[in-house]
Amino acid sequence: MAEKLLCDPTELYNILNQHSRLSRLADSNYLCLIDARDEGTYYCSHIITARNAKWDLNGKCIMPSDVEIESMRYIIVYDSNTSSFLDSGPAIACADSLAEASRYPIQILVGGYERFSAIYPFFRTQKMMYTIRELENLKPYPVEILPGQLYMGNYRHATNPHILKDLKLTALINVSEDSNLMFEKGSCTVMYIPAADSVDADLSSYFERVSLFLASRLNAGSAALIFSTHGISRCSTLAMAFLMHRLKYTLKEAWAHVQRCKANMRPNRGFVQQLSNWELQIVGRKITDISEPNY
């Protein structure tokens, strides 16, 4: 029997927004999201890509026939508001049934539809079926590094006015070679960090400046987005530097945190060395062995 875990709304948000060239949601073995509420409630509104749970005559939840449960990376179940394993409700019952056949853990969304849709109302929908082409063309949002405060993404995210509005962004950090990017920044304050994605580029000289800028914005209740051209290397480097500065994370801890948020993040080797030096400055010694293959 598979393990059952709780899934925080931020975790589901980031799972929904993983992408490389295309959205990961187009991968048929990536995510199966099950809405365990009754059919009528589901039809009124549900989380994007969710399927309504089906039950057999014995009251057990049935996995959709086109889903290979043993190869599915994420199986997440939700109802209206289940928040812990001490609750009783359709999400718990559905998870118990699916755990009998799954290879991976079955996750239960904490707070259910009510909490998730309150935090991310732009992920509510009435659409029930998607073609592969529609899933490939879904426009992901930037991943959430600190809930409601710090996001990390690419140039397309920063130039999308709907994303700026939906995430209530008021500060942008543009780390790229182009200071003349054309986008409607609205009321956002923009910090420009000139840097190429090169092992010879110097980002470390901006670590403290960026960290202080973000701290001041977040302390004031604002939300900020760090973005680079592709949202892979430069922005993840600055995100880790900030986590190390603000939360006194080691490089290993900051790396694990950002990688949980964005699976394909990857600072280049030059930036990894700069983060290692930053760890020495912040923590007082080099704790993370950057010669390990993970880095």
Q: For residue 39, what are its two tokens?
A: 């059919």
* pLDDT grade for 258, boundaries at 50, 70 and 90: very high
For 17, the domain range is 4-136
Model confidence pLDDT, tens digit, residues 137-149: 999 999 999 999 9
Q: Please tell me the distance from the alpha carbon of residue 26 to that of residue 30, in angstroms, as a whole number.
A: 8
Q: What is the pTM of this model?
A: 0.95
Q: Are the C-beta atoms of 67 and 32 separated by less than 8 Å?
A: yes
- pLDDT for position 103: 81
**pLDDT at position 295 over 80:** yes
Q: Taking all residues of the chain, what is their mean pLDDT, rounded to a whole number?
A: 93
Q: Is the pLDDT of residue 183 over 60?
A: no
Residues 6+ apart with CB under 8 A from 27: none
Pairing label, strands 169-176, 189-194: parallel
Please say if the pLDDT value at position 184 is more than 60.
Answer: no
95 lies in the same domain as 148:
no
Query: Do the domain assignments include residue 129?
Result: yes
Q: What is the CATH number of the domain that holds 247?
A: 3.90.190.10
CA-CA distance, 277 to 295, in Å (whole number)?
14
Residue at a domain's end among 116, 136, 156: 136
* Angle ∠(67,69,73) on CA atoms, nearest 5: 100
Residue 110 maps to a domain: yes
Same domain for 64 and 13? yes
Number of domains present in the structure of the chain: 2
Distance CA 248, CA 254 (A): 9
Shared domain for 120 and 175, answered yes or no, is no
Question: Dihedral sign, CA of 169, 173, 176, 180?
Answer: positive
**Structural domain includes residue 219:** yes
**Closest-CA residue to 94 (of 77, 113, 74):** 77
Q: Sort residue 111 into left (φ over 0), alpha (ψ -120 to 50) or beta.
A: left
- Indicate the pLDDT class of residue 136, thresholds 50, 70 and 90: very high
**Is the pLDDT higher at 71 or at 232?**
232
Q: Mark whether 61 and 160 lie in a shared domain.
A: no
pLDDT digits (tens, 9 = 90+) for 143-167: 999 999 999 999 999 989 999 999 9
In a domain, 33, yes or no: yes
Question: What's the pLDDT score for residue 182?
Answer: 54
CATH code at 48? 3.40.250.10
Query: Which of 117, 136, 155 is the endpoint of a domain?
Result: 136
179 has pLDDT over 80: no
CA distance 128 to 121: 17
Helix (H) or strand (E) holding 286: none
